[in-house]
Structure formats: C-alpha cells, structure tokens
C-alpha cells in the first residue's frame, strides 16, 4: 500500500470491496415494479411456463414481502402413466416450488419473503414428442 492510499483513508487500510463492488456512501432504491418483474421471471422459470401466463402480486408483510403467484401448471399427458408417476403430486410440486421461490427471491432481491402463495389457474399439457 502506498502513502497516497493510506492518506486518503486516514491511515487505515482502504475498505475492502466485495466481488468487484466498490462500497460508497449513499443508498440504493429499487422500485416495486422492478421487484415485480424479477419475481414474475423467477416464478415463470420455477413453474416452467411462459412469463406472460404468470400474474404476481407483492405486498408488504411483517418486515418483508408476501408474494402471490397465479399461473397455470404444466402437467404431463395423462395417458402417459410413467410421466405422471415421475412428476409427483400437485401438492408436492407446489410445496417444493414455494420453497424454491422463497429462496430465489430473497437471494436476488435481498428482501425477506414472509409468505409465498401459489394459485393454480389451469393446466398446460405438454406435447408428446416423437423420436425420429
């Protein structure tokens, strides 16, 4: 460390940056509509549907945010018993999706997620593809 660097920081070593981020005084404001779009994208990816089919509502709740997602749920063709068994029950899939969404939204937005509600608005049957 040279004398100019020490002088700039009052004799103390300069503050460490984390992963290429320089810490500076001030604040960062992320608008609700940005969080809304992020949650829509994460929800669509977690559920395996197009983002245009997902509706998300975010509201403040107990020091964090509550997320409500409405979306159709992809299901395998019902005449394919192997695929139906492999997919698991709807409740199991939704419970796993809720936990995954909570973790991903908290990681990406930096906000505490107190609740994730998922409403299934319909079903999307995936098309069977034939092997050529």
Residue 84 lies in a domain: yes
CA atoms within 13 A on the CB side of 101: 29
Least confident piece of the model among 21-35, 45-59, 87-101? 21-35
Residue 9 lies in a domain: no
**Among candidate residues 120, 66, 64, the one with its CA nearest the CA of residue 93:** 120
Residue 89 lies in a domain: yes
Q: How far apart are CA 119 and CA 32, in angstroms?
A: 21
Residue 99 lies in a domain: yes
Phi and psi for 13 in degrees, rounded to 5? -65, 150
Q: How far apart are CA 96 and CA 93, in angstroms?
A: 5
Q: Which two tokens stand for residue 123?
A: 């079903």
Q: What pLDDT is attached to residue 87? A: 84
Residue 108 lies in a domain: yes
Q: What pLDDT is attached to residue 116? A: 95
CA angle 67, 71, 74 (to 5 degrees): 130
**Dihedral, 17, 19, 25, 31 alpha carbons, nearest 10:** -170
Question: Which CATH number goes with the domain that contains 55?
Answer: 3.30.70.1350
Residue 113 lies in a domain: yes
Q: Average pLDDT over the chain, rounded to whole?
A: 83
Question: Would the pLDDT of 131 be above 70?
Answer: no
Tell me what percent of the residues of the chain surpass a pLDDT of 90. Answer: 48
For residues 62-78, average pLDDT: 91
pLDDT digit string (tens) for 1-45?
444 444 444 555 555 545 666 777 887 777 888 889 999 999 999
Domain count, the chain: 1
Q: What pLDDT is attached to residue 19? A: 61
**Which letter does DSSP use for residue 38 in this model?**
H
For 48-71, the three-class secondary structure string (H helix, E strand, C coil) is CCCHHHCEEEEEEECCEEEEEEEE
Domain that holds residue 100: 31-125
Least confident piece of the model among 4-8, 17-21, 84-88, 96-100? 4-8
Q: What pLDDT is attached to residue 4? A: 47
């Amino acid at each position: 460390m040279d004398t100019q660097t020490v002088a700039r920081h009052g004799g103390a070593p300069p503050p460490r940056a984390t992963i290429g981020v320089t810490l500076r005084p001030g604040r960062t404001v992320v608008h609700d509509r940005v969080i809304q779009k992020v949650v829509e994208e994460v929800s669509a990816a977690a559920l395996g549907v197009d983002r245009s089919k997902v509706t998300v509502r975010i509201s403040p709740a107990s020091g964090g945010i509550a997320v409500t997602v409405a979306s159709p749920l992809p299901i395998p063709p019902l005449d394919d018993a192997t695929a139906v068994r492999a997919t698991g029950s709807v409740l199991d899939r939704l419970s796993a999706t809720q936990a995954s969404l909570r973790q991903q939204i908290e990681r990406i937005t930096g906000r505490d997620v107190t609740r994730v509600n998922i409403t299934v608005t319909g079903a999307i049957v995936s098309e069977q593809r034939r092997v050529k």
